[in-house]
Structure formats: structure tokens, C-alpha cells
Amino acid sequence: YRDQIPAKVFPQCGIKDVRLKKLGSFDTQGLEDAGVHIECIKEPESRNDILLVNQQTFEQPNIQSHIAAGGKVLCLAGKTKQTRPQSQIIDTFHDIQGQLNTTRGIDSPANCTWYGWSANQPVMIKQQHNDLQQEAGRLSFNGINEAGAYAYAILKRPLLQANEGHVYLKYLNDSENWQTKLHQNANFFDRTMGILLRDHKHNWFLSSQATPLNLTGKNGYSDASLGEMDWLAVNTASDGMLHSTISTNKNIVPDWQTITGIGLYLYQLPAEAVDFSIAKIQFKGRGAPSALIPLHGPKHRLLNHIDQQDLSFWPNGACSGILPLPERSNTRVILAGNHDGMGASLYEQFHGKGVAIVTSLNLNQLNDVPTASAIFDNIITYLKQYQPEQTSGTYTCVNVDLNQYLNQMDVFRESDINQANSIITDGQSIQKVMDQNLNELVKEGSTLLICNINESSIDLIRKLTGQNLKLTQPYLDERKHCVKAAISWTKADTPNNLVEYYQGIMIPQPFETNHEPLLSGISNLDLNWDGQDMFEYGIEIKGKDPVRANDDYAILISNWKIDWSKPHWGGEYIHAAKDLKRADWFINRDPVVLRIKHGQGQIILCQLDFLHGNKKARRIMAQLLTNLNCSMGYPTNFASTDTTFDLSEKAKQIERFNQHYQFLPPAVRQHYGVPKHLQNQPQSTVIKKAAFQLIADTFALQYAPYLVEELWESYVVMTNKQSAGNTSETLTYVQQHIETWEHQAQVFQLSVGLEDLKRKPNGQPAVDLDTFASNLQQIINLLAKNGAKLYWTPIIAVPVNLTDYSGDLITQYNRVAQNIMDEHDVYTNDLYHFMLEQFPEYLQNDNVTLDMTQQQILAKQVAQAIVFFGAQ
């Protein structure tokens, strides 16, 4: 039996009628061979022309000015004839053939050749020859006790790299029970390493000693994020190899298009040689370029007649590169840059009265690939018909922190709420904006975005929306993973939309698409903040069906248990296949971003914690602002939603659901938080990892986001969102939360005390020494009564010229605190002396603010202690 389907026939394209004005020198032969008329010019001319440029020309000020004045631009940003690199992962020491005991290069299944160098003793790259099936290779630094040794691999096929890249390695000692011995011999961990990387031009770079790859003691594994490291340019031989002592010449931000070499450099070693081998080095970069239609959101008119299979089966690949997204500009992703949803291969950028389409798709293949012709025709038609509306601006009434965040996003604002079509506020500020005729403005057509709704503001928002809103405790306490919310599981009449689950393997999408325009351009990749909590409470309309498509309200983003491979409570709760039958996650998920229709306008309720998010959070905010027609960087006009998207599928979906609900009862949410029947299951693991609670003052909160990133694989990490203040305020805070913590946290770190030394008007510290000691005693007694593991970080030094604090009393306060910690067997992580040694320049500051690098280093120092000494 063979399933036969008719061949796809694209609509007739009028390519030979297309006339473009080309600015700059780049390859357009494929377009011209297909009959496109291209005229070369030296400066932009009429705004009615479609200007054809490459990436370098596109970034020039005169092009941006042309777009702002109403120009229309097509930017071919990819590289022609680019070799497709190896994607995502290399694993260097698996089943290396033969016995290797020299520093000469060797081949491995990772398609690389290894080299090593040390001043006095060879770096051994070896393989146990007695049992090839059980023993993998080793990169041995045994006996080496002088810094400067290194080993590196030259890759036969290049790797793509991104700031999200990671180096992950497994280290070991060849002796029996080596892990136990290593923990007994802390001298082993007295070493720091750097990462060596070689770019596509054969230039080498070394990660700075200020951002090292440290051994953590965590089961013999360590990893580092390449994008968070500082880099130095290495003086490289003309053959692109490293032959002797490494020397560096300057700090640099490498422009990594591809990686052609990777290695390790030993910065610091123990005074006494300790046997040390690397068993595995794993490099994770980004997947190879591939054009991916993002899940959810309406179909963009640039993709008329285009489905995922048209892109997946594009001969020799649909695109030549992954395009980074410009920051602080109105950009909408139309096609993601690879299967992970990273970057873009096609996006539109709005600027002033004009628009640019930027793409790395291989459009030079018009004669050879029908999909290329169809997309090119869509682009030209879209640009010709593009007519932005006279869009008014954005009015904001937000708290100080969110105001600063929007300033960093460069949001262009109106001073008069009556002149704005988009209004942004938050739970703290809603009362102020409600006094400005807010209800009527939204009913007349404005869009209102309300961020971070809390218990004190929920009643006001109920009154505004007329809906029975409820703040929800997240189902199964899932705060770390969110997704663009599917409407529901598939129905019998769900359109058969094919998606690429694996390379070249298409299967029907197992859920109903969410066609909400506000989801356009957002990637699910950005809805995973690397283990960090993304929200505190969900928000729902009580009693509303959570799996029904309708125009009155819609769940845009919800939490979701991502890991389907290891279900914690059985497949019926989270397994994809069983989600087709009204599974619990569809019914009980928590709306994190919710849209409510309000008259002619709409209200967006957003619980995402953007302020404590990372660069992924900023990308989500940028896409939301663009979809809300909020100008960033420059006052911009936008085209209407119905001329940008094909909304017909949304209308059809609502009609289908209306017919279903003539016969079906509405679904009703059943569970909040962790249901009791799961808590009482003896085999259930409600919290698989130990829970860690940071109790921090303003200073320690600076490095808290990086600490979350460091610990999330080993701990469920919780932090206070606002400063715990001085110890008197901290005591009150602990008393208010200890009952909740007793059921959650097994590990606490107390990082307070600096606020106690703030000078009062009379020059005395805010909290005197006796009160400070009493507060600490009470806090430690409360935290320790259930046997939790406690950590303490002493009060840090203050800059010498900073008179706001009683810096001369720090030693006295720390001595008293240390006596209390010794009495209760609390582990002290001495950040006071660590900072003096690592950041001597800090003492010359005029405040106690850390820069990003200092925050990262402190977070690593804290995390290493917690991981090494554990929760017991």
C-alpha cells in the first residue's frame, strides 16, 4: 500500500514583472537569471521603490533614514554558498581507537584531531587498550603542576556557535573511589581553567581568568556558558595552530560565525600535583540554520501558500544563516532561524513610516526551488501593498523599576493618555491610571497591558474588566517553564497541520493552534529562563472554560511541564500522547498572559516577571511591545492586523468550537498547586531536588539571578523578590514566611547585615550591635529548628569614600555574627575577604553596586560552596 497525495502547485508568480533598486555590491545573479529587473543605484531614490540591500548596507544610517521616511527595503542578509556546519554537539572522548600516549594529534568519532602542550611534562591523550569496549579515552593532565598547559582539538567540520553555547566536561581521577577521595582532598579543586576556541578565520580566543571554568565537585561534572565569559585574543601562528606558551594581547568580543577548534587551558593548579583527567568534553552550540514556522500565532501574509514541509524539504537547505534580532527596535520574527527557535531566518522590522524585510532564505534559487519563488512573490506583494496606519503612541503609568526597564527597551511614550492607543501599567500603579478615564479609553479601542497583578490590585482589575478574576497557585508548583498556550488537544475536525518534529520527519500537530496575533514572533525557546522562576501567581477568569477557542478571552501563555521523558507523577498527567484526551495540563494549567476583550479594545494581563528575567525575557517583551504597536527607539507607524495576518483560520476555529459546545459541557479546572492526592502518594516525588531559599539584602540580590542559573540543575531555587532589609526587617520577613518555608526549603543562605550599618541622621548605624546580635540569634533559631542546612555570608566591605555606611564597624559586626554562626554550626562563605582579593577596584567605587562580571563571579563562588557542601 502506498499513500498518494497530489503534488503541490504554487500560484503563478509574476517575478518577471518585479523591478528592484539595488544598493551595494553583492550576489544577486540568481534573481536576475529568474527575470527580476535589478537596477543598481548609489543612493536611495523614491520611497515607492523597493530597495534591495545586503546586511552591511542595511545597517548604514542613510538606509535607516530612508525607511523612517516611508521606504520599503528587502535585505538579503544570508551568505551564498555557505557550507552547512555540524550542528549542536560534539563529544570528544568516546571510543577513541588505539593506545595514545603522546601529544601528537589523534582522530576520534567527533571528527577532530587533538593536540596538547605543556612546558615540562607531556599532556597525555590516551586510551586504555585492555578493554576498548568499556573504557573511553582520557585527556590526562597527571603530574602537571605548572600553569599554562593546554590541549585543543581541531574540528574537521565547523560548529555553529551562539551566546547560548555551553562547554560541559566530566573530570576524574584514575584511583579507586576517586570521587570520595576528591571530596576529602579539597586541594584537587584548587584549579581554574579557561576555554580555548578557534573561529572560522583560524583566530584563537581564550576565556579570561576573571570568568573561569571552575570545578564544582558536583559528581565530577562542570559546565560554563560561553556567552557569559570574557574573552582574550590569542597570538596565533600563521597556520592557525598553537605550538608553545600562549600569550594574549587584548580583550575582545569574538564574532563567532563558526567554531573550528576547541580546547582547555590550565590557569591555576594545586601546589602539589594531583592526578587529573578529562573524560568528556561536550560542546553545545546552536543547531544548523533551518527555516521554522513558529508554533502558534496567525499566519503571516509573507507565508501565504507556504507550509512547514515546503521549508523542511527545500533542496540543500532553506537558509544560510541564523539572524540575530536587533535590540530596542520593532522587529517581528516570521520564520525562526533553526529548529530550536533561535534567532530568525525571516523577520520584518518597522521603523518610522517604512518597513524592511530581512532574510537569510536562499532566495537566489528562484529558478530551481518553487518555494523560493512563492516566498519572493509574497515579499514583493507585501512590500508593494504596505500601508501603515497613523499609529498613536504608548502611555505608561508604572512603578520605578518597570519604568527603568521600559527606558532600557527605549519605548517611545506619549505624555497624554488620550493620545495613546496602547497603555501600560502594573499592579502597583493601576489606581493612578484608573482615575484617568481608563475604562472608557479601552472600550473605545485602546489596548491596556497590566503587568504583575497582586492581591492588593486584583479587586481593582476585577472592577475594571467586569470579570471574576482569580490569582492562582501554579499547578504542581510549576513556575520555571512556560509555553505559548495551545487552545486544546486535537478534535476530530482539527486541521491536519504538519510540523517537523525531527529533521525531515513530519507529523500532525497534536494540539489546536492558538491564532492570537499577540503571540506572533515569540519563541518557546525564550519561555524557558534556564531554571529561573518566571512568575509567582497565574491569573484566570474563574469558571471560564480553559480549553475553548473564542473571541472574548484567550490564554496566550501558560505554565507547562516541559520534561515529557521522565514524568514525575505518571504519564496521565504530562505525557504528550495522553494529552489528547482532556489531560490535566490542558485543564489545570495556569494562565500567565491572558487577553480579555473589553468593548472595542482589549486588556492584556501579564504575570511574567520581566524585571528579574534575563535576555530571553527582554526578547519576549520586545515582541509583545511590537505586537501591541508600541514604538521602540523611534516613533513608528504600524500596518493593521488584518493586512499583516491571515485571520481566517481563527474565525473558522471559533466557529468549529461553537458547534462542538452545542453538545459538549464546558471543561472546568480541578486542581491548584500540588493536589493532596499527589502529596499523599508515598512514591510521589513532589520536590525531586532540594529546595534552596536565599534571604538577601539589596547587595546580595544583585547576584541572585546568576545564582539561580548556577544552581537550578541541583536545587529548586527561591529568592526574595524585594530586599530583606536590615536584620530587624529580616526577622519580621522570616517570621511571616517560616511556616511556608518549613514545608519547602531544606537549605537557607542568609545574606544580610549591610543595611544595619546605614547611617541614621545622627551618624549612628541603623541597627546597633546588640540588636543586630539579637536579631541574628532569633533568625537562626527560626531557620534551624527543622534541621535545615544554613549558610551565612559576612557583611561585605564598603568603598572607602562611601560615607553612607559605618564601614569602620563592619569587622566588629562580622565578629559577633561569626560567634553566633559557630554556636549553631552554620557554614560561613567568606565573601568579605573573597571580594577584597577578587575586586580590589571595588573599594574605589562611590556606591555598593556590582557590575555584571562581579555579580557572575560572586554567584559562582556562592553556588560552588552550596553544591560542594550540599544540603546535609
The per-residue pLDDT for range 685-722, each reduced to its tens digit, is 334 567 889 999 999 999 988 888 788 777 888 888 78
If DSSP codes are grouped into helix, strand and coil, which group holds residue 52?
strand
SS (H, E, C) 256-267: CCEEEEEEEEEE
pLDDT at residue 82, as a whole number:
41
Domain with CATH 3.40.50.1110 in the chain: 687-869
Summarised one tens digit per residue, pLDDT across range 525-582 is 889 887 789 999 999 999 999 999 999 999 999 998 744 333 333 333 333 333 333 4
For residue 250, name the pLDDT band (cuts at 50, 70, 90). confident
Give the residue from 28, 31, 35, 29 showing the smallest Cα distance to 57: 28
The yes-or-no verdict on residue 225 having pLDDT over 60 is yes
Name residues whose C-beta falls within 8 Å of residue 595's C-beta, 6 or more positions apart in sequence.
Answer: 516, 518, 553, 554, 556, 602, 603, 604, 605
State the average pLDDT over residues 323-329: 88
pLDDT(518) > 90: yes
Domain with CATH 3.40.50.880 in the chain: 15-80+299-385
* pLDDT at position 68 over 90: yes
Least confident span in 310-324, 575-589, 845-859: 575-589
Give one DSSP letter per residue of 610-653, joined into a string. GGG--HHHHHHHHHHHHHTT--BSS------HHHHEE-HHHHHH
User: What is the mean pLDDT of the segment spanning 2-27?
Assistant: 79
Check residue 600 and give its pLDDT.
96
pLDDT of residue 216: 57
Assess whether pLDDT exceeds 50 at residue 305: yes
What sections of 105-144 are H helices per DSSP? none
- Please state whether beta strands 37-41 and 19-23 pair in parallel, antiparallel, or not at all (unpaired): parallel
**Above 50 in pLDDT, residue 618?**
yes
On average, the pLDDT of the chain sits at 82
**pLDDT reading at 127 higher than 50:** no
- 378-398 pLDDT, tens per residue? 999 999 999 998 777 899 999
Of the two residues 163 and 635, the one the predictor is more confident about is 635
Instruction: Give domain 410-630+647-660's CATH architecture.
Output: 3-Layer(aba) Sandwich (3.40)
**pLDDT of 213 strictly over 50:** yes
Average pLDDT over residues 25-44: 92
pLDDT at 99 over 50: no
pLDDT score at 1:
40
Comparing 170-174, 355-359, 619-623, the range with the smallest average pLDDT is: 170-174
What pLDDT is attached to residue 390?
Answer: 77
Amino acid 639 reads: A
Q: Which architecture does CATH list for 89-284?
A: Sandwich (2.60)
Instruction: Say if CB 145 and CB 120 are below 8 A apart.
Output: no
* Helices (H) then strands (E): counts for the chain: 23, 40
As a whole number of angstroms, the distance between CA 63 and CA 150 comes to 47
Residue range 729-754, pLDDT digits in tens? 999 999 988 887 866 677 899 999 99
Apex 563 CA angle, 570 and 287, nearest 5: 155
- CATH 2.60.120 positions along the chain are 89-284
Whether 850 shows a pLDDT value over 70: the answer reads yes
Residue 629 φ/ψ region, left for φ over 0, alpha for ψ in the -120 to 50 degree band, beta for the rest: left
Residues contacting residue 69 through CB under 8 Å, at least 6 positions apart: 47, 352, 353, 354
Cβ neighbours of 219 (radius 10 Å): 10
Summarised one tens digit per residue, pLDDT across range 412-441 is 999 999 999 999 999 999 999 998 999 999
Nearest CA-CA partner of 206 in 267, 277, 274, 133: 267
**What is the spatial distance between Cα 725 and Cα 719, in angstroms, rounded to a whole number?**
14
Confidence of residue 126 (pLDDT cuts 50, 70, 90): very low
Between 3.40.50.720, 3.40.50.1110, 3.60.15.10, 3.40.50.10900, what CATH number should domain 687-869 receive?
3.40.50.1110
In terms of Cα–Cα distance, which of 866, 843, 833, 612 is closest to 750? 866
Specify the amino acid at residue 268.
Answer: Q
pLDDT mean over 762-790: 90
Residue 311 or residue 846, greater confidence:
311
3-state secondary structure of 248: strand
pLDDT of 101 above 50: no
pLDDT of 95: 31
Q: Place 4 in a pLDDT band, splitting at 50, 70 and 90.
A: low
Mean pLDDT of 260-278: 75
∠ CA 18-24-25, nearest 5°, is: 95
For 613-647, b/e burial (b = at least 16 CB within 10 A) is bbebbbbbbbbbbbbbbbbbebebbbbeeeebbee
Residue 837's pLDDT band (cuts 50, 70, 90): confident
What does DSSP say about strands 124-127 and 346-351: parallel, antiparallel, or unpaired?
Answer: unpaired
Which CATH architecture is the domain 15-80+299-385 placed in? 3-Layer(aba) Sandwich (3.40)
Q: Which of 32-41, 91-100, 445-454, 841-850 has the lowest mean pLDDT?
A: 91-100
